[in-house]
Structure formats: C-alpha cells, structure tokens
Amino acid sequence: MRFHSPLLIVTSVIAQAFAACEPEIPFPPPQYTAESLTRTVDQIDAAISALAASGRFNNTAVSVEVASREQALYSFHRSGLATAETVNGSSAYRIASNTKLFTALGILQAEAAGKLSLDDRITKFISGLSGDASSRIAWEDITLRTLMSHMSGIPDNYAEDDLILSLSDPTVLGLPPIVADKAALPACEGFSNYTQPCSKKDLLQYLQDAQPVFPAKVEPSYSNVGFDLLGQVLANISNTTYEQYIDSTIIRPLNLTGTSFTPPAANGVLVDDSYWGVDLGVGNPSGGLYSTPADMITFLRFALANHNTLTPALNWFQPAAYSSGAHSYLGYPWEIFRSPAILPNSTRTVTINTKGGGLAGYYTYSFVIPGYDIVVFMAAAGDLTVLNELLDVVVDPVIVGAEEVAQMSLNTTYAGTYLAPVHTGLKSSVTISHSMQKSLYVASWTSNSTDVLGALIPLVAAQAGTGENLDLELIPTFEIRADADGRVGEVWRFINVMEGNGGDTETQGNATSIWADYCVSNIDPLSYAGTALNEAVFWKKNETSPVTQIELSAFRVVLERDSLSSPSNC
C-alpha cells in the first residue's frame, strides 16, 4: 500500500482546482447603445465604400444587416444589377440552404410539443423507406438527430449536380461516353431542365436504390436529401404540407411578411439565368424559401434569444459533429466556426454559428455570435465573389467592436477593490482588476490577514510546473440568486488560466506545446465545507443597479465595494 503525505495531497488538489484553460467568452453579453459601435460602423462603411469605388458591386446586389437581440445596429444595401435597381431590407432573395434553419426549428418545436423525438428512426414517419436487406442504406440506423446534423451518411442531391446534364463531351474529363437510360434517372428538377419539380414519390424511388456515402454516425457528409426527409416528417405529423407547417408555426408567428416558398410579386432581387422562380418541390425543406434581410434578422434574433429554451433535448447552438479542419464543427444544421485568431488583444476563442446557402445567382449567409449577442445576415445576387471580401470587412470588425464594448462594460461594472466592513474586524479584501487580455482577474486577495494569492502560487506552481504564475480570471455562470431583501446576486467562478493554454500553442512546433493545449472543462472541481471554493457572487440592489458587494462563498465573507476605488484602465 502506498501512503501519501497530506501536504502533497492538498498541494495536488489545490493545483488542480485552480488550473484551467482560457475560457471562451468570460463575460455576460454586452448592452449596446447607438454610440457604442460608432467606430466599428465607420470602419465598416469605409471598407464597403472602398469596395464600391473599386467596382466590386457593379454586377451584384448586396444586403448586410447587423443586430443585437434588442436592436438593429447596422445595415447596408446596394445594387449594381439592372434588374434590381433599388435594394433595401424588404428586398427578397432566394435564401437557399438557410431554409434548413427553418426546417430544423420546425423539428425542434415539434420535439418540444411531444410530437416526435430527435432519436426516433426516420422509418417511423416515412413508411416508403425500406429497412430490409434490399436497401443499400440501413434506414433503421438513421434518426432525426443524424439527419439534422448531416451524420446520416445518405447522399447529398439526386436530381441535379450530375455531369451528364452539363457535359456535352464527357471525354474532356476522361469520362466514357454513356447513353443514359432515361428510365433509370429522375424525370424532375435538373433532368427536366427545372420545368418539373421533384415529388415525394421521386425522392423515395431514388432512395430505394441509393448508395450511402458512409454508414450512419460514422462521418459527417452534407445532405440536402436528409432535410428533404425532415420536411416530410413535419408534413406527416401535421397532416398538412411541409410548406403549410412552416408558414403556420414559424413564418406567421414571427410576422415574417416577406418570407414564403413562392416568388414575391414585388421587391424581388431578380438575376438573369438564376433559380428565381424555380419550384424545388420536395426539395423545399433544404432550400426553397425566399426571404428578405429584415425577415432573416428577425428570425436570427429569435434563434439567439431562444436557442437554449426551445426544447430540453439540446442547445440549438451546440455542435453535433466535427467538420473538416481544426476549428469547424457541424450543428443542427449550423456550420460552426471557432477561432482564437479574431481578437487583436486576446487569444480567447470566439464561436460563430453560421449557415450558408447558394442557388444559381444567389448566396446568403447567416451568422450568430452568441457570446456577443450579435446576429449578421448577408445576401448577394449576381456576381457572388464579393461575399468573401464582405466577410472580412463586416464580420471581423463587428466582433472586435463588440469585444471592446463588452470589456468597457466589465471594467465599469465589476472592477474595483472590495473591503470587509469595519464592524466585522476582518482584515479581508479583494481587488478585481481588468485588462483586454485577461478581462476580469484577481489582482490581490487578502483573507483575514492571509495573502491568498501568495499562499496559492507556490502550491500551484509546484504541482503544475508552470513557474510562479497564478492568473485567477473570473467567468460568469449565468446563475442568478436573490436574498431575503430582494437583492440580485450574479454567480461567477474564478479559475487559474494556465500559461500556454491561450490558443497560441499551435505555432510552437513541439509535442510539449501541442499537449499543453489539451483541455478538460471542469469549473467546479473543489469545495470547502460543502461550498464551491472558487465561487464569487456579485450583489446589487436590483438587476439594473450597480454592483455593491462581492461574496466569496467558501470564505464565508461578504466584502463591500470601495466607492473610492475606480475601475482599472483597459
């Protein structure tokens, strides 16, 4: 039997309790005013004006909308198309695969209403899918959840994107000439020159003989067909059409008056040789909607406000699977991008939930940045190449500007020195400071005459091998408490952000630095007499009043904010 020194055990436990990787967004979402993003808006305007002056919009109609959960923050509309001389927030674009967000929301709402489960097999709702040995696809292994997250392994498209439709001479690609058996090919959509939309019968007939890309739940592979099937599920459970279901449960309740599955009679952004007016039929759930920038911002703001309360089954913004690359993930069906390279003064990771969608002549982008309470919608028609440049000159500056607003708010709201009341006789205090790199952090901490940071540094350093480094940063838990007097308490935790875990280790180029980036989230590792050791509660009179106290829960002390201590400079 091996015996351990009590001191070594305490040292190890305390080190582990305080060690953590850098948190992604260590603050509540900021509140924006008309003036708070002025510099950001001016920067975006200047960049877009430069693109316009260079002729980048000469053959393109473009719309950009930015908003928080509470208010509009920025908009830009411009048309270089002769067919759409005036473009504004009420102009309609084909939003293509952004339709999938509406289909997914419909599924989540139906799950919350008890009409289905995300883990139901697709065969429960569509009897035409065979689960026997005659089918190449193992349909019994495919659930609604795998369809929503592109983890079903079924093909992407079936009545378009076939080179036999576009190559007059396949031998230029080394392909053999083939006399196609028309009976074996769909007679709809691309195979009918888009004069005949595909039906449910066409879809199911194709799927009976379709070859899977992967077995279910093995690897992600984008599938429009998967969302076409989800649309049929919504039609099945509602005894109506998919289009009527989306209209009655999402479009009308959100008052999206410019959104529909048919081309609007007016305000359409028309492009020659495009998909405008093409009826996608059974493909509507994956890409059939027309919508306006104003409507899409309303929809995205609804998603931002309700993503974690739609159903107990999941948080709509969380990833479901890895995607290609080190920083990309697939959601339901968000395309999620996480990067430590966006913020100029920090290596904290920023997560952006995106959804892109394109049909010939049109491309739209939805962005939700939950940590900053921001949504962005972009649409382009005509020459689509300018969209890549708009990403750089709009989305990145918006995030950087929001970060500045958030950090200024943190500094003003929470930073300062907190002291034990004189009548307690305690010599206890804590100073919460602020910087753009660390956000809120503990600059000094005395508990009943004990220098807490001084006591922790050698313990943490000895166990973690990090040198004399202790950076206690504060992160919100978004839990709220109330006391007997009706005061509001915001519950936070402080964690030691270990050196080398800030996202910059990818460039250091050795095995040690690679594994220094390995993180496990545990914000509640240690308690003292039943109370979390790293818990702090900021108390204020009500939700809108200033913070006046900090409670260090495990230390059983409430400290008063010193009115003479001013917030530190950013």
Could you report the per-residue pLDDT of 359-399, keeping only the tens digit for each? 999 999 999 999 999 999 999 999 999 998 999 999 999 99
In 415-526, which residue ranges form alpha helices assigned H by DSSP?
452-464, 511-516
Q: Are residues 436 and 544 in the same domain?
A: yes
Q: What is the pLDDT of residue 183?
A: 58
The CA distance from 282 to 206, in Å, is: 13
Report the number of distinct structural domains present in the chain.
3
Helices and strands, number each (H, E), in the chain: 13, 22
**pLDDT confidence tier of residue 523, bands split at 50, 70 and 90:** confident
Tokens for 553, please give them.
Answer: 């829960």
Is 380 inside any structural domain? yes
Could you report the per-residue pLDDT of 455-469, keeping only the tens digit for each? 887 766 554 444 556
Residue 296 CB coordination number (10 Å): 29
Q: Are residues 138 and 151 in the same domain?
A: yes
Could you report the per-residue pLDDT of 313-338, keeping only the tens digit for each? 999 999 999 998 889 999 999 999 99
Which of 197, 226, 256 represents a domain boundary (last residue)? 197
Residue 326 CB contacts under 8 Å (≥ 6 apart), including other chains: 506
pTM: 0.90
Q: What angle do the packed helices 99-112 and 224-238 form, to 10 degrees?
A: 40
Write the CATH number for 248: 3.40.710.10
Q: Are residues 149 and 252 in the same domain?
A: yes
Is 209 inside any structural domain? yes
* Complete DSSP assignment for 374-434: EEEEEEEEES-THHHHHIIIIIHHHHHHHHHHHHHHHHHHH-EEEE--GGG----EEEEEE
Q: Are strands 488-497 and 535-540 parallel, antiparallel or unpaired?
A: antiparallel
Could you report the per-residue pLDDT of 119-161, keeping only the tens digit for each? 999 999 998 887 666 788 999 999 999 999 999 999 998 877 7
Range of the domain at 292: 37-158+198-407
Compute, in degrees rounded to 10, the torsion defined by CA atoms 444, 447, 450, 453.
Answer: -30
Is 312 inside any structural domain? yes
